[in-house]
Structure 1
Amino acid sequence: MTRIHIVAGEASGDVLGARLVAALRARRPDLEISGIGGPRMAEQGVSSLFDYRELALMGLLEVLPKIFRLKRLLAEAGADVAARRPDVLVTIDSPGFTLRLAERVRPLGIPIVHYVAPQVWAWRPGRVAELKQKVDRILCLLPFEPVFFENAGIPVTFVGHPVLESGADGGDAERFRTAHGLTATDRPVIVMPGSRRMEASRLLPIFGAALRLAAERLPGLRPVLPVAPIVADAVRRAAADWPAAPILLDGPDAKHDAFAAVAQSGGAGLIKSGTSSLEMAVAGVPHVVGYRVNPITAAIARQLIKVPHASLVNLLAEREIVPERLQENCTPRALADALVAPMLDLSVAASQRAGFAEALAMLRAPEGLPSEAAAVAVLGMLKAG
C-alpha cells in the first residue's frame, strides 16, 4: 500500500488538501491517505489526528499563550508520521507548524513536499537556506516564486493558484437575493475579516465602524459575511450593533452566490489581506483591503517586510489596483471612503476590474487545474523516491 500523509493547519489549507486528495485518488485510487485537516478533507475520507482549528493562530503575541499546547500537538503529529511511515509527506501552508513538523520528521528520510510557498520572499529572505534543509520540493502558487526558491537550490513546481478553481465566479445572484429576502434598494457588501480568531476579533470592530460611516453615504447597505466556523460566534457578537443586520453565510456555495449578488448590484467588499483579495478579483467585486495587528507585531514586521503591497492582486500587477489601508491607516473613515468609492463612481469599479484580469492571467499553470498539477507533482515524488 502506497501511503501519503497530508497536514493542513487552517481552513484554506483544508480546502487545498481536499482538492489534492480528490486529484490524487483520481489518478491513484489505491492510495492510502492520512493526516491532519478539517471538514473538507474529512469529506474526502481523511480522518484528522486532532482538531486542526487548534493550529489556526497567527501573530507573535497571539501564539505565545498557546505555545506549550502547540508543542504537544507538534510532538503528537511527529509521532503519528513516524508510526505511519508514509511514502510522501505533504505539508500545506501554516509554516509555523507544518515546517516545524517537517524538520522534526526529517531524519526519517521521508520525501517532504510543502504546498504553498512560505512568504520568505516577502519578509524573511534570509530564512530560505533553512527551508532547503526541511523540504524536498515546494509547490508554488504565484508565478514570481519559482525563481526565488530555485536560486536557493530548492526544487520547485509552479502549480497555479487554487483560487482559479474555487468557483468564486460561478455564483447565482438571484438565488442569493431570494434566499435572503433582499429588496431592490438593498445594496449588499461583502465583509471578510479573516478565518483566524485573533485577526477577526481585531478587525471586526474597525470594519463595523467603517460600515456605519459608509451607510451614512449609501443607505441600504447590507453587510454579508462568509464566516469560517472557527470565528462564527465572534462575528455574531461583533455584528450585533451594526447599522443593518448582517447576513452570515457558511460554505463556499453561499459565499459565491453572495459574490455574484454584490457584483451584479454594484456593491463592493471590505476584506482583510491575503487570498480573499484574489477571490474578490475572480468574482469581479471591487474591494478595499484593511488589516491591523498588535502594535508590537507590526513594529517587528515593518523591519522584516520586503514587498510594497499586502494585496496579492497588487503584488502581481506591481501597482496598487486595490486600495490598501494597513495598520495606523486602517481606520473606519479611510476604509469607508475606499469602500464607497467604486459604488459611487463606475470608473473606479471598472479600473479595478481591468486590473483584476491582468493579475489573474498570471496565476495559470502551464497545464491543468492547480489541484491536478499539485497531484502530478506529489506523485512524481513517489517515482523519485
Structure 2
Amino acid sequence: MSTTTHTIWLLAGETSGDELGAKLIKALRHFNPSLKFCGVGGPKMQEQGLELLFPMQDLAVMGLVEVLPKIRMLSNRLNQAVEHIKTVRPDVVVTIDSPGFSLRLLKRIADLSIPRVHYVAPQVWAWHESRVKKFPGLWEKLLCLLPFEKEFFSKHGLQSTFVGHPILETEVHHGNAEQFRKDHQLSDKAPIVLFMPGSRRSELPKLMPVFKQTLSLLKRQLHDVTAVIPTSPLAKERVLHMVNDWPVKPIIIHDPQDKYNAYAAANAALTKSGTTTLELALAKVPMAVTYRVNPVTAMIARRMIKVPYVCMLNLLANDQIVPELLQEDCHPEKLSAMLMGLLTDPEKAKAQQDAFTQIMHQLSGPNDELPSHVAAKEILEMIKG
C-alpha cells in the first residue's frame, strides 16, 4: 500500500462504534502507517490516534421520545461536524453506525465531492424497509457486518460489502474464570450472573431499577449468587451511583480483561439487546434478553418493527434460542424466574451454547480474513481510486 499521507475523518456516536472505530484505525495503520485521523469518537479511538472534534457522549441518545430534549444540541453538533469536514477536506469520511446522526451528516456533505463510507448498515430490514429509498446518494460504499444484509441491499439496487463481524476479533472467549474468582474473592461454586444494562444515558435509568429488584428476588432463591455489572469507563460513575442503594451489592467492572474473565466465570447473563448478545454468545454464556423504553417509543416501535425478534442471535438463527423479555415482560419476577431456569437447568443452558457455535460461523468475513482488515482495504481502495 502507498505511504502517502492521507486524512480520514471518522464519526462514532456510541461505545460499540468507538470499539469498531478503534479496530478500524488500527487496521488502516497496518496498511498505511502515515494516515491521519480526526473526527468524533470515544476513548478507544483516541488511543489509536483520533484527533477529537467533540466527545461522542453528546450523540449517545436512543429513543424517539428521549431524543427530543437533545435536538438543539444535536443540531449544533451536526453543524460543527459539517464545518470541520469543509475545513479539513479529508480524503474520505467514514461514519460508523449511529444512523440518526450519521446519515444526516452524509447528506449534508454530499456536495463536497469527498468519498463517503458508512460502516454498519442501517437496520431498515428490521424497522421500515421503505426507508431504503432515502439511501441512494448518501454514501459511495456501505460496509455490512451481517451476512444477510448484502443480499437485502442488493435487492434494492444498493451496492454493499459484507466484511464480517468485528466481534470475532475480540478476546471475549479467552477469559480466565479462575482469575476472575480469585481477583474478586469468590468461591469456586458461587453462581455468577452478569447484568448488562448498556451504557447509554437513556438506557440505564430504565433498566437499572428493574435489575435491582431482579437481583433481590434471585438472592432469595440462591443465597450465594453473585451479580456482576460490566460497564464502559464512560458509564462507570453513573452505574456506581445507581447501585448505592441496592440491598445486594453487585461487582462493577469496566476493564476489558476483567470483563472477559467475568464472561468465562459467568453461569448466566441478563442483557439488553445489542452487540453484548454476540459477545456473550462467543463466550458461551447462557442468557436472556430484556429491554424497556418510554411507552410511547415502544408503541411506535411495535408498529414499525418488521422482524420477529429483537435479539441478533435469534435473527441469525431464525429461531428464538434466547428468551426475549421486552417492555411489559421486563419485570423483576419474570426476569428472575428466567435466570433461575438457566442456572438450574443444564439442558436449557447447553441448548443455547450449542446454537451459539453455529451462529458464530455465519459472522466470519471473506476468506476468514479479519473483518477490520477487510473494511480497511475497502476504504483504502476508495482513497486510491
Using the TM superposition, give the Cα deviation of residue 252 of structure 1 relative to its aligned residue in structure 2, in angstroms. 1.5
Q: C-alpha deviations, 1:215-247, integer Å up to 9, x for none?
A: 222221111111123332332233233343211
Aligned partner (choices 216, 221, 227) of residue 220 of structure 2: 216
Q: Choose from 229, 238, 258 the match for 2:262.
A: 258
CA distance in structure 2 between the partners assigned to 1:131 and 1:340 by the alignment: 45
Instruction: State the partner residue of 1:311.
Output: 311
Q: Deviations over 1:316-360 (max 9, x none)?
A: 000011111011111111111111212101001100001111111
Cα deviation digits, residues 45-100 of structure 1 (max 9, x gap) = 11210111111101011111111011000000011111111111100001111111
- Shift >6 Å, 4+ stretches: none
- Counterpart of 1:333? 333
What letter corresponds to residue 344 of structure 1 in structure 2?
T
Q: Give the C-alpha shift of residue 152 in structure 1.
A: 1.7
Partner SS for 2:234? helix
Distance 1:260 1:102 in 2: 40
Q: Please, what TM-score do these two structures have when normalized by structure 2?
A: 0.96
RMSD: 1.2
1:363 alignment partner in structure 2: 363
* 8 A contact 2:181–2:188 mirrored in 1: no
Deviations 1:254-273 (A, max 9, x none): 110110111xxxx1001000
Q: Could you tell me how far 1:184 is from its partner in structure 2? A: 3.0
Unpaired runs of 5+ residues, structure 2, are none
Identity of aligned residues (%): 48
Quick check: 1:193–1:200 contact (8 Å CA) kept in 2? yes
Structure-2 separation of matches of 1:254 and 1:171: 8
Task: Supply the distance in 2 between the matched residues of 1:8 and 1:70 (Cα, whole angstroms).
Answer: 14
Distance 1:84 1:304 in 2: 39
State the partner residue of 2:376.
Answer: 375
**Cα offset for 1:361?**
1.1
Determine the C-alpha separation between the residues in 1 that align with 2:69 and 2:294. Answer: 14
Find 1:94's aligned residue among 98, 103, 108. 98
Indicate yes or no: 2:302 matched with 1:302: yes
**Which one-letter code corresponds to 1:374 in the other structure?**
A
Residue 120 in 1 paired to residue 121 in 2? no
CA distance in 2, matches of 1:214, 1:353: 22
Range with bigger deviation, 108-117 or 214-223: 214-223
Alignment counterpart, residue 230 of structure 2, candidates 210, 221, 226 = 226
More divergent stretch after superposition (3-12 vs 317-326): 3-12
> Which of residues 169, 174, 177 is equivalent to 1:173?
177
Q: CA deviation at 1:185?
A: 4.2
> Does the CA-based 8 Å contact 2:12-2:41 persist in structure 1?
yes
1:77 aligns with 2:81: yes
CA distance in 2 between counterparts of 1:127 and 1:109 reads: 24
Matched, 1:106 2:107: no
Once the two structures are TM-superposed, the CA of residue 159 in structure 1 deviates from its matched residue by: 0.8
Q: Which runs of 5+ in 1 are unaligned?
A: none
1:160 maps to which of 164, 188, 194: 164
C-alpha separation in 1, matches of 2:60 and 2:336: 29
For residue 137 of structure 1, report the CA deviation from its aligned partner. Answer: 1.3
Query: Which structure has greater helix proportion?
Result: 1
The aligned residue for residue 290 of structure 1 is: 290
Question: Matched residues in 2 for 1:357 and 1:242: separation?
Answer: 36
Amino acid at match of 1:198: S
SS in 1 for 2:172: coil
Counterpart mapping for 1:341-356 below 5 A: 341-356=341-356
Query: How many angstroms does 1:109 deviate by?
Result: 1.2
Tell me which of 187, 192, 198 is aligned to 1:194: 198
Match of 1:244 in 2: 248
312 and 270 in structure 1: CA distance in 2 versus 1, 3 angstrom threshold: same
Residue identity opposite 1:170 in structure 2: H
The one-letter code of the counterpart of 2:251 is I
Which residue identity does 1:372 align to in structure 2? H
Equivalence for 2:33: 29
- Counterparts of 1:11 and 1:209, CA distance in 2: 26
Q: Which residue of 2 is the match for residue 273 of structure 1? A: 273
TM-score (norm 1): 0.96
Secondary structure class of the residue paired with 2:37: strand
Query: How far did residue 32 of structure 1 move?
Result: 1.9
What is the alpha-carbon distance in structure 2 between the residues aligned to residue 321 and residue 200 of structure 1? 26
Give me the whole-angstrom Cα distance separating, in 2, the residues matched to 1:157 and 1:276: 23
**Is this contact kept in 2: 1:139–1:158, CA < 8 A?**
yes
Measured in 2, the distance between the counterparts of 1:97 and 1:58 equals: 11
**Which residue of structure 1 lines up, in the alignment, with residue 17 of structure 2?**
13
Structure 1 residue 250: Cα displacement? 1.2
